[in-house]
Amino acid sequence: MATSDRPGPTVFVLFGATGDLAKRMVLPAFATLAAGELLPKDWALVGNGRGDISHEEFREHVREALDKFGPHLPQRTWREFERRLYFAGGGFSGDNPGSLREVLEHARAKVGRDAQLVHYLAVPPVAFGPLTQALGAHGLTQRARVVYEKPFGTSPESFRRLNRTVQRVLDESQVYRIDHFLGKEATQNLHVLRFANELFGAMWNRRHIESVQIDVPEDLGIADRAGFYDATGAVLDMLVTHLFQVAAEVAMEPPASLDADGLQAARERVIRAFRPLNPAEVVLGQFTGYRDVPGVAARSRTDTFVAARLWIDNSRWRDVPFLLRTGKRMATSAQRVSIVLRTPGCPFTTLPQQTNVLSFSLSGAGEIDVDLLAKRPGVALDVEPATAALPLGALPDADPLPPYVRLIHDALLGDRSLFTRPDGLAAVWKVAQPLLDARPRPAVYAQGSWGPAQARKLAAPHRWLLGQ
């Protein structure tokens, strides 16, 4: 994983450093970058939180997080890693910077006075605005980048309010709105396979494609995220973030370039062609026992499942349904994009439906599968389904980066290609507005199932390719 393309001296400030997201995702990603020699030669990580713990106690917290969520660092690597970790307690607000400025001065003395700052907000969305204002109030925005976790706003109104706050404090070039699905290796292959291979690029339109399925079932529950999840739900946690962004990756027109400006503009342009959701084409669900989870309201109507039929009103995709589905406590976990090709007519007249499929597994290093019909060897002309698989991790010299690792590395380098823009997010909220204004009542579904039975009708006259 080593590379000569390393960022310059950096102080990485992790807000919410002792929280669940930092423990599960951000700190392991940062350690992976260190193990792969992808961090700057000179760097420091300053954790921030309301508690008042010592640098040594924070280092022990990080060690415990890595023991549980990886990666394992050899002792020599860990010793080099831990000496660059610091903690600034007392919180951080416009009125009270806690000890952050003092600790930053100490870290910059070690790293270099001209080191860039990368602020990572691994905190609940409600804290994004106040923290942004505090960064401006305390002069911590110069030579700085700010990474915002999703969701960037929890409603159209809160998005606009947060966006105004961010624009008053930061230049857009400093802002990195994260959506870790865009950092997945296989998500990036959605545009690479299409634009680098005319075999697929030529059929990427309504004439050849019958439907698109973006399916992200999860067998996991909400564990210790109950407070966050019950205030968010599947629509905000997954649909208006990950699934819409992946749909844009599939549907975008060829970008002018594959740099940040080209890719971002192409994604945002097609999102503006998304038709606002029709609540009659959306099914919400809640798994049995959800209200018994500690931290969940006794009468909660939070959705833990959503399936939706999305339409794109442009010449390439008109009348092609995009079927989106995700949920907690489902039969299995998967992350799959399926491009379902139309069934040929003459000379074959009785071919089975949904058997010509190009699919992308977004899990792990990713895999591309081609499902097709072939003649079964023998004297008869018998046609049977067959699958050809290309595991991306098996490619020569493959060195896949997990999505958080990739996106943090991009933020350190200043590459915004895989981050979202405010115009695209504004369009996303416009698409979601009818659903937010008239949410269907969540239907109860059994744990370990494929969600409410009503969701099957969204795929009619055919079926969901996963599970049903």
Least confident range of 9-18, 36-45, 191-200, 388-397: 388-397
For the chain, the average pLDDT equals: 91
Least confident range of 297-311, 341-355, 381-395, 449-463: 341-355
Mean pLDDT along residues 12-18 = 97
pLDDT at 1: 39
Q: What is the pLDDT of residues 108-153, one digit of tens each?
A: 999 998 999 999 999 988 999 999 999 999 999 999 999 999 888 8
Numbered residues of the known binding site for substrate: 180, 184, 218, 237, 328
SS (H, E, C) the chain: CCCCCCCCCEEEEEECCCCHHHHHHHHHHHHHHHHCCCCCCCEEEEEECCCCCCHHHHHHHHHHHHHHHCCCCCHHHHHHHHCCEEEECCCCCCCCCCCHHHHHHHHHHHHCCCCEEEEEECCCHHHHHHHHHHHHHCCCCCCEEEEECCCCCCCHHHHHHHHHHHHHHCCHHHEEECCHHHHCHHHHHHHHHHHHCHHHHCCCCCCCEEEEEEEEECCCCCHHHHHHHHCCHHHHHHHHHHHHHHHHHHHCCCCCCCCHHHHHHHHHHHHCCECCCCHHHEEEEEECCHHHCCCCCCCCCCCCEEEEEECECCCCCCCCCEEEEEECCECCCCCEEEEEECCCCCCCCCCCCCCCEEEEECCCCCEEEEEEEEECCCCCCCEEEEEEEEEHHHCCCCCCCCHHHHHHHHHHHCCCCCCECHHHHHHHHHHHHHHHHCCCCCEEECCCECCCHHHHHHHCCCCCCCCC
Q: Which residue, among 80, 45, 86, 82, has the nearest Cα to 66 in the 3D structure? A: 82
Residue 345 pLDDT grade (very low, low, confident, very high; cuts 50, 70, 90): low
Numbered residues of the known binding site for NADP(+): 16-23, 50, 150
Cα gap 419→175, rounded to integer Å: 9
Q: Show which residues are catalytic.
A: 242
Q: What is the pLDDT of residues 260-288, one digit of tens each?
A: 888 889 999 999 999 999 999 999 999 99
For residue 369 the two structure tokens come to 């599968």
Q: What is the pLDDT of residues 175-232, one digit of tens each?
A: 999 998 888 888 888 888 889 899 899 999 999 999 999 999 999 998 777 888 898 8
All domains of the chain, ordered by start, with CATH?
10-149 (3.40.50.720), 181-403+422-459 (3.30.360.10)
Burial code (b: 16+ CB inside 10 Å, e: under 16) for 295-323 equals ebeeebebbbbbbbbbbbeeebbeebbbb
Least confident range of 256-260, 319-323, 444-448: 256-260
Q: What is the pLDDT of residues 351-408, one digit of tens each?
A: 777 788 999 999 888 889 998 888 778 877 777 888 888 888 777 776 778 899 999 9
pLDDT at 4: 44
- CA 414-416-417 angle, 5° bins: 130
- For the chain, percent of residues with pLDDT exceeding 90: 71
Q: What is the pLDDT of residues 245-256, one digit of tens each?
A: 999 999 999 998
